[in-house]
């Protein structure tokens, strides 16, 4: 049974740009999938559909047993954790702690449980020493780790990341790669970092001008490019 099904997804932006023409694929629980392709191929647009940040022009998305629609958005967002390319898009509270606690509080979790969860995920991403700092003062790599913590604090079944290693120094990149490798559930991310894709993804989807150009085992795809 597939945890993600994207069927004939088409997205036309309001200015007429056809970002996705007709994309289809399915992802199995636990898979680690890299989405690659040139600038403008439609990668970010595709990710934004996976938890309903964009509405399809046509086509369908199913996450687990839930078809994505307005009515199912809260369920979908609990299942799909999205890390944006720019951490400033998801850090907006006065302190790191507040940002990471925001999701669990929203789920109605008790205060003591929230505090425990926040400490756990901040330790996991190596950012617990930053918990009382305002996120806007952090370095790019630190912000990225906190952004990931805000998503992990919701215990998502699917981790979706847009260019996760973008702008990170080599050490932060290695740390992040270890984190992604250790995440036990489904991982889907876009990247221009082909070494990372090779190391972390058993499968690659190549987008080209809004279409799935190739989809298969990473080594096979890389050897044919």
Q: Contacting ligand ADP (CB under 6 A), which of 8, 17, 137, 139?
A: 17
Stretch near ligand ADP under the rule CB under 6 A, chosen from 41-49, 133-141, 146-154, 169-177: 41-49
Contact 161, 105 (CB under 8 A): no
> Shortest distance, CB of residue 32 to ligand ADP, whole angstroms?
19
Nearest Cα neighbor of 191 from 49, 84, 36, 43 is 36
> Shortest distance, CB of residue 68 to ligand ADP, whole angstroms?
5
Q: CA 135 to CA 127: how far, in whole Å?
A: 11
What is the contact mask toward ligand ADP in residues 56 to 75, using x (rule: CB under 6 A)? ------------xxx-----
Nearest Cα neighbor of 160 from 77, 38, 68, 60 is 77
Q: Contacting ligand ADP (CB under 6 A), which of 39, 108, 182, 184?
A: 39
Q: Which C-beta is closer to ligand ADP: that of 6 or that of 100?
A: 6
Q: Is 40 in the site for ligand ADP (CB under 6 A)?
A: yes
> Shortest distance, CB of residue 28 to ligand ADP, whole angstroms?
23
Q: Which residues pair with 60 in a beta bridge?
A: 7
> Shortest distance, CB of residue 11 to ligand ADP, whole angstroms?
8
Cα angle 124, 126, 129 (rounded to 5 degrees) comes to: 120
Q: Which C-beta is closer to ligand ADP: that of 3 or that of 41?
A: 41
Q: Is 114 in the site for ligand ADP (CB under 6 A)?
A: no
Residue 200 vs residues 25, 133, 174: alpha-carbon distances, Å: 19, 31, 11
Stretch near ligand ADP under the rule CB under 6 A, chosen from 39-47, 87-95, 191-199, 214-222: 39-47
> Shortest distance, CB of residue 82 to ligand ADP, whole angstroms?
13
Residue 106 vs residues 21, 153, 177: alpha-carbon distances, Å: 36, 11, 29
Contact 5, 26 (CB under 8 A): yes
> Shortest distance, CB of residue 191 to ligand ADP, whole angstroms?
11
Nearest Cα neighbor of 172 from 147, 201, 209, 154 is 147
Nearest Cα neighbor of 154 from 47, 51, 55, 5 is 51
Q: Is 41 in the site for ligand ADP (CB under 6 A)?
A: yes
Q: Which C-beta is closer to ligand ADP: that of 17 or that of 139?
A: 17
Measured between alpha carbons, how far apart are the two ends of the chain, in Å? Answer: 30
What is the contact surface with ligand ADP in residues (CB under 6 A)? 13, 15, 17, 19, 37, 39-45, 52, 55, 68-70
């Amino acid at each position: 049974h597939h945890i993600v099904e994207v069927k004939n997804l088409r997205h036309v932006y309001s200015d007429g740009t056809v970002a996705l023409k007709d994309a289809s694929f399915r992802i199995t629980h636990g898979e680690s999938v890299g989405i690659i392709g040139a600038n403008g191929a439609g990668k970010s647009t595709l990710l934004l559909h996976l938890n309903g940040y964009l509405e399809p022009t046509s086509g369908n998305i199913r996450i687990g047993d839930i078809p994505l629609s307005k009515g199912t958005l809260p369920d979908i967002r609990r299942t799909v954790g999205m890390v944006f390319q720019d951490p400033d898009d998801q850090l907006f509270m006065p302190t790191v702690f507040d940002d990471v606690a925001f999701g669990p509080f929203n789920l109605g979790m008790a205060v003591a449980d929230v505090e425990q969860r926040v400490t756990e995920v901040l330790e996991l991403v190596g950012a617990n020493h930053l918990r009382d700092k305002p996120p806007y003062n952090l370095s790019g790599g630190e912000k990225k780790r906190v952004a990931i913590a805000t998503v992990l604090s919701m215990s998502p079944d699917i981790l979706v990341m847009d260019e996760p290693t973008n702008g990170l120094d080599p050490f932060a990149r290695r740390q992040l790669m270890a984190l992604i490798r250790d995440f036990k559930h489904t991982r889907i991310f876009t990247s221009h970092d082909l070494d990372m894709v090779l190391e972390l993804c058993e499968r690659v989807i190549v987008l080209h001008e809004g279409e799935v150009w190739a989809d298969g085992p990473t080594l096979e795809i890389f050897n044919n490019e």
